């Protein structure tokens, strides 16, 4: 489907925007995870200057750590209502209230990143099955093109 990494990157950027809009979220991020580093590959956001492609964070300081550890989708509808999340570094720094994400797998079924969507506002009503499926399908498509995705980091 994609002839090269440039075509794939254009599709990724557009899809982040499309899915973000459908979910009604402020930010969509494609991340790459290596060792304990979380790198933003691509971002689509209404939140100016908060997240930028190329930024690197310790994985332990991200909501995506839960996705990597569980190797499955994670969603938080209203972080402020989850006592165990109130001291989380992301919540402390940015107060992201809602989050939905799914893991990106390589051909060996190793998690190499996430597709995630966040917002400063709680997601009401709660994320539903169709919304999770939308994120999961997007992430599956990225996983199918894991080598092109990895090429975006090089």
Q: What is the pLDDT of residue 73?
A: 97
- Judge residue 17's burial from the number of C-beta atoms within 10 Å of its C-beta, 0-12 exposed, 13-18 middle, 19 or more buried: middle
Closest CA to 85 of 72, 68, 98, 73: 98
Q: What is the pLDDT of residue 153?
A: 87
Q: What is the pLDDT of residue 154?
A: 66
Q: What is the pLDDT of residue 141?
A: 97
Q: What CATH topology corresponds to 5-151?
A: Beta-Lactamase (3.30.450)
pLDDT, averaged in runs of 10, over the chain (154 residues): 85 97 97 96 93 95 96 97 94 94 97 97 95 98 95 84
Domain ranges of the chain: 5-151
C-beta atoms surrounding 149 within 10 Å: 23
pTM of the model: 0.95
What are the E-state strand segments in 35-87?
Answer: 37-45, 56-58, 74-76
């Amino acid at each position: 489907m994609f002839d090269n990494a440039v075509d794939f990157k254009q599709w990724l950027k557009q899809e982040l925007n499309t899915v973000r809009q459908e979910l009604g979220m402020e930010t969509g991020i494609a991340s790459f995870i290596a060792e304990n580093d979380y790198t933003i590959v691509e971002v689509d956001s209404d939140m100016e200057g908060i997240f930028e492609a190329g930024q690197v964070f310790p994985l332990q300081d991200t909501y995506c750590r839960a996705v990597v550890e569980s190797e499955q989708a994670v969603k938080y509808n209203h972080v402020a209502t989850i006592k165990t999340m109130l001291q989380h570094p992301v919540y402390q720094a940015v107060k992201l209230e809602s989050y939905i994400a799914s893991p990106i797998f390589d051909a060996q079924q190793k998690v190499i990143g996430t597709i995630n969507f966040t917002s400063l506002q709680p997601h009401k009503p709660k994320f539903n099955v169709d919304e999770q499926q939308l994120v999961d399908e997007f992430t599956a498509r990225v996983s199918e093109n894991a080598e092109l995705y990895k090429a975006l980091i090089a």
